[in-house]
Amino acid sequence: MKKIYAMAVSSSLLLSLLATTGQEAQAYQKPVLKKGITQPVYALDEAIVERVFIETTIDSDRDGKRDRVHADLIRPRETAHGLKVPVIYEMSPYNAGIKDVPVYDVNTELTAVPTKNSNTRVSKVGSKALRSASKFPGYYDDYFVPRGYGVVLAESIGTGQSDGCPTTGDERETLGAKAVIDWLNGSAKAYDAKGVEVKATWSTGNVGMTGVSYDGTLPNAVATTGVKGLKTIVPIGAISSWYDYYRGNGAVIAPGGYPGEDADNMAEAITTRKNPDKCRKVTQELTAEQDRKTGDYNNFWAHRDYVKKAHHVRASVFSVHGLNDWNVKTKQLSSWWLALGKFDVPRKLWLHQGGHNTPYNFRREAWLHTLNKWFDYWLYNSHNNVMQEPAVDIERENLTWKKEKTWPAKHTENVSLSLQPGKLTTKMNTEQVKQRMIDDASVRVEDMLEDPKQASEHHLLFQTPRLKKGIRISGTPYMQATASIDKPVANLTAVLVDYGPKFSEIITRGWMDPQNLKSSSQSQALTPGKNYTFKWDLQPDDYVVKKGHTVGLVLLSSDHDYTLRPKAGTKITVSLQKSKLILPIQGGEDALKWEK
C-alpha cells in the first residue's frame, strides 16, 4: 500500500514546547491548518500502533462477564510526547471475514393470517449483502494520521477477537460500538493482550465515526445514543432501519442480490469469534423474533430502527448514498435524512449514480478534500467553509455533479396520475374499467420491459404520452391500487420505468403485503374476491426523464429478485378508476407537458 509521508516542514510551521517538571523541555509538532484544513506534517512510518480490548457495559453472550471489543489504533508518534489528537473511528463486523451459512428458500408459499407456515433454510452463500470495501489499515490512516488524527478500527461484538454475540443492529451492538468512544473520553476501561490497563490520554475525546455499509450503519446506531464525544458521523451506503432492509410494507424483501438473507443468518455469518457455539441461542432468538412469516413490524424491528431515535442524535451527519443502490436501498437514506432535518441536526449529503459503493472509488480527490474539511470542522473546531457550502452534492445521469441547498429538490410537488387502459394521465378516469394480472414469480421484471407493446397476462402496463420537456422526479413515489385478490394472500409490486426511443430503464420499484392494509405493524385477513384499496411507497429516487421519453408504470404481483416466490396462478383484478400513481415532480403538474 502506498503511504503518505510527512511534508517538508517549512519555517511557517509552528513548534510547541511541552514543559516537563525537572526535565528538559520536549518539542513536538503541532497540527498545521491552512485555510482551515489540516496539513500532512506527521510521519506515518513513525506512527504508534496499538492493540487494545475495550470493556463494554453488556454481556451479549451471557457468560457472566462484560464483553470486550478488540480495537487496533494508530496515532502520530508525537502523541507520546504530549500531543493530543481527535479520532476517526470505524467499527466493523467484517474484519475477520464472513462465513458461509444457510439462507432461507424464497421459492415458498406466502403465509395468510392467521394460518402459519414455515420456511426451509437451504443453500449457502459465500458473501453477504453488507460487505465493506475498506480493510485495516485502509486509507483512513494513510490520509489522516499525517494530518494529526488517530485512527481506530474495531471489531463488532461476536466477531474476530471481540467477545459477545452479533445481534444485527440492536442496542447490544450499539453499546458495544459506543464503548470505544467512551474509552477515548476516559469513561470506559481498556486492556492490552496481557491484561494491563491502557488509557487514551493522547485523545482529545473528539470522535468522528465512519464506514461503508454495515460499517456505516453502526455510526447511525451509536449516534442515536447521544454519546459524549461523538461529534460527527459519516455513514456511507448505511442502514437506518433494519426492518426496511429485510421487509417492505409487510412483505419479506431481499437485499438486492441476496435472496433468502435475514437478520438471523446475517448474525450467524459474522459470528467469527472463538467458540461461536456460545452464540447459538442468541441467533435462535433472532430467528424467533424477526417474524419472517407475517413480515410485520414488531418490537424486534423497533429496537433496530434508528429513524425513530433520531431525536437523540447530537452529532453532525454527512451521509453518502447511491441512487442505484439496491442492496441498502434509498429509503434508508431518505428516511434518515428527513428525520435528521426535522430535529435540526447539522447535515450534509452526497447522492451518486452508483450502487453500493464509496466515493473513494469514483470521486476520490473531491471526496478526500471534502472529508478532510468535514472532520477538521467538527473534530478540530476549524473555521473552514464546509458548513457554508450547499448541503447537497448530487450526481446527475450524465455523471456531472451539481450542488443544491436541499433534498428532495426545491419546488417538488406530488402529482397524481390516473390509470386508464395502457395509459397514465393527469385527467380523472371516469370509466369503470377493470384489468386482471396473474402472478408468476419466475418472470423477471426486466423481461417484461423488453417490448412494452407486447401484451402479458402477468403484469399491467401504463404509460404517459411522450414528454414535451424533461421532468425531474425527486423524492418518494406512491402507488394506490384498488384491487381484489382471488386468494387470501399475495405480493404487490409497482415498478416505475423510463421508456425511451431505444431503451427502457427501471427508475424505482416498491412492494407490499396486501394483508398489511392499514399498517406494517399488523396483518389482517383478506376476503378473496373483495375489493380493497392498497397504498405503498416505492424506493425514493432523484431521476430526470428526458424529453421525448414516456413514464411507465408496471404493476405485478411477485418480483422475482426481491419478494418471496409463491407458486404461479394468483389472480389480481385492479379497478383502474380508483387507482393512481403519485409522483414527486419538481414544478408539480405544471412541469408535465406532453407531445401532441
Residues annotated as catalytic are: 213, 325, 356
Residue 309: how many other CB atoms lie within 10 Å: 19
* Dihedral over Cα of 524, 530, 535, 538: its sign: positive
- Coil, strand or helix at 282: helix
Grid cell for residue 498: 423510463
C-beta of residue 17 within 8 angstroms of C-beta of residue 78: no
- DSSP E strands, 328-396: 347-352, 392-395
Phi-psi region of 87 (alpha: psi -120 to 50; beta: other; left: phi over 0): beta
Residues forming beta bridges with residue 348, ordered by sequence position: 318
- Cα–Cα distance measured from residue 293 to residue 179, given in angstroms and rounded to the nearest whole number: 35
For 168, the grid coordinates are 444485527
Which residue type, as a one-letter code, is found at position 578? K
CA 87 from chain centre, in angstroms, equals: 23
Q: How far apart are CA 298 and CA 541, in angstroms?
A: 27
Distances from the Cα of 69 to the Cαs of 166, 192, 318, in angstroms? 12, 11, 26
Contact 551, 465 (CB under 8 A): no
Q: Which CA distances in Å does 538 have to 18, 29, 306, 549, 556?
A: 59, 53, 20, 21, 14
Residue 91 forms beta bridges with which residues? 154
Reading the block at residue 102, the C-alpha cell is 444457510
Of the candidates 197, 173, 172, 176, the residue with the CA atom closest to the CA atom of residue 186 = 197
Cell representation of residue 44: 506515518
Q: Rounded to an integer, what distance in angstroms lies between the CA atom of residue 379 and that of residue 149?
A: 9
